[in-house]
Amino acid sequence: MKILIVCTGNTCRSSMAKAIGEKILAKLGQADGVELSSRGTMAWSGQAASPLAVAVMQKQGLDLSTHQAALLTTDDVNQADAIIAMTESHKQQVLTMSGDAITKITVLNISDPFGGTEDDYQACAEEIAGQLKEILPKLAAVEKER
């Protein structure tokens, strides 16, 4: 199962969500057969993760130091089995690429910490983790039923 996580720049929210999601799935023993990826609707391909995102993830034992942003493409949308968008706006941008994505998209409504403090990034990461703990096990379970 391919799960795509989408935000704007792919340097904060979606990159943190990918790392957090992989940790959640591993802890639950549901990582097998599930591939998480992250993209940005307005990403500069190759850009590093935000230094504060890297710092917050490092405190959780997760490494974003080698992350490189990638721009969302129609192929990404079409190849994903499930899509997690950080906001309703991201959902709408995904749907302009493929209306068929409506059946596989979930919105988290996570505010962008970009330009904020480390505390803002920490709060963002906690909000992402809380929501992914609810969503990812359900998506992984669907994969196991296939």
Catalytic residue ranges: 7, 13, 112
Q: How are strands ordered across the β-sheet holding 2-7?
A: 35-40, 2-7, 82-85, 105-107
CA distance 102 to 17: 21
Whether 3 contacts 30, CB under 8 Å:
no
| Tokens 């490189």 belong to residue | 68
- The angle at the Cα of 114, spanning 28 to 36, to the nearest 5 degrees, equals 30
Extract the tokens encoding 81.
């089995």
